[in-house]
A = this chain, B = another copy of it.
């Protein structure tokens, strides 16, 4: 991407003439501000063309539409992101598990302890739930965050939870180890901007009709704010097929790995929509080279307040962990070491 910077003295007529000139030499002219033009094309050709224009201050070449997220020459293949005392990205595979939502103390602690005992690495659970209907359960809110803090204290597991309101960013940042920005908010730029101002790791889920480039551009909002701790998450896209809830786009894993240095994980639960399909999708994600998975698990799915149908019973987690080990081996990885039990 070529960016042309104009001086403040640039008149509309100057601007118009420059636009006419560059439209012969480039494509996809996108005018950003009165002081900035951007387009695709050859920088030298554009430079030559505009050499006599006094109000052109500079002609720069950005390495990509998302310069901070892009996997560029000289950058590592994958920049690990902190998750409590552990991390996501690198040779180890990370498993985040837990219920769709925090329902009550006993449900959360029972599930969290089972997640830890199975060898998973972090706990997920929503205190604030975005729901399609205004008449559905929307989460416990701040009391849910307090229960999450307790679960972390008891199990030693770091905690991932979703933020749905820009006004909650501060309380989230002080309560959880990783803030999730969900699929429906992937292009809620206000929320992205504010999360980008914190230094708390962010898990950014792909919108259900977002292209991979749009996901990387949304991510760029976070990085542009100075927060470099971002994990991307494929969670299924919307297609014509109605046999399941969303179409898990497993090819997103290798394609994102080509384009970005940030870790990429997969949520197999929302796409599956039904328990029996979660394990095959989790294994597929690991075999395709994901840095981890985040899945819904519950100690009693039949009574779950949301998404019970797709929750893996916690007693099936140990078998999944073992099978994930084989799938990781296919991808040339190993399972990350488990979080040790807390001494009490």
CB atoms of A211 and B243 under 8 A apart: yes
A277, CB-defined interface residue at 8 Å: yes
Question: How far apart are A222's CB and chain B's nearest CB, in angstroms?
Answer: 9
A250→B33 contact, CB < 8 A: no
Minimum CB–CB distance from A277 to chain B (whole Å) comes to 5
Instruction: Give complex CA distance A257, B155 in Å.
Output: 38
Asked if A52 lies at the interface with its beta carbon under 8 angstroms from chain B, I say: no
- Tell me the smallest distance from the CB of A109 to a CB of chain B, in Å: 15
- Interface-located stretch among A85-93, A133-141, A170-178: A133-141
Please determine whether B134 and A221 come into contact, CB atoms closer than 8 angstroms: yes
CA distance A252 to B249 in the complex (A): 12
A255 at the interface (CB under 8 A from B): yes
Residues of A149-177 at the interface with B, using a CB-CB cut-off of 8 Å, are 164-167
* A305 within 8 Å of B (CB atoms): yes
The stretch of A43-51, A75-83, A197-205, A286-294 that contacts the partner chain: A286-294
- B-chain residues with CB within 8 Å of residue A84 when the two chains form the complex: none
Inter-subunit contact B32/A137 (CB<8 Å): yes
Question: How does the 8 Å CB contact mask read for A7-18 relative to B, with 1 for contact and 0 for none?
Answer: 000001001100
- Please determine whether B277 and A287 come into contact, CB atoms closer than 8 angstroms: no
List B contacts of A135 (CB < 8 A): 32, 38, 62, 220, 224
Number of copies: 4
Smallest CB–CB gap between A14 and chain B, Å? 11
State A252–B221 Cα separation when bound (angstroms): 33
Chain B residues within an 8 Å CB radius of A96: none
The answer to whether A330 and B283 touch across the interface, beta carbons within 8 angstroms, is: yes
The CA of A166 and the CA of B289, in the complex, are separated in Å by 38
Q: From B247, B284, B302, give the contact of A239 (CB < 8 A).
A: B247
- Whether A190 contacts B164 by the Cβ 8 Å rule is yes
Question: How far is A184 from B323 in the complex, measured between Cα atoms in Å?
Answer: 36
Is A217's CB within 8 Å of the partner chain B? yes
Q: Known contacts A189-B131, A239-B239, A327-B326; decide if A208 and B209 are in contact (CB<8 Å).
A: yes
- The verdict on A217 contacting B255 (CB below 8 Å), with A188-B185, A241-B249, A326-B326 known, is no
Is the Cβ of B247 less than 8 Å from the Cβ of A251?
yes
Query: In the complex, given contacts A135-B220, A283-B287, A283-B288, what are 8 additional A-B residue pairs having Cβ atoms less than 8 angstroms apart?
Result: A32-B136, A65-B133, A130-B189, A165-B166, A211-B242, A211-B243, A241-B249, A254-B276
Q: Identify 10 residue pairs between A and B in the complex whose beta-carbon atoms are under 8 Å apart, listed by A's number.
A: A31-B305, A133-B217, A166-B166, A209-B238, A212-B243, A240-B240, A254-B281, A283-B330, A284-B287, A323-B330
- Interface, chain A (partner B; CB < 8 A): 12, 15-16, 19, 30-34, 36, 38, 62, 65-66, 130-137, 164-167, 184-185, 187-190, 207-209, 211-214, 217-218, 220-221, 224, 237-244, 247-255, 258, 271-272, 276-277, 280-281, 283-289, 302-306, 308, 323-324, 326-327, 329-332
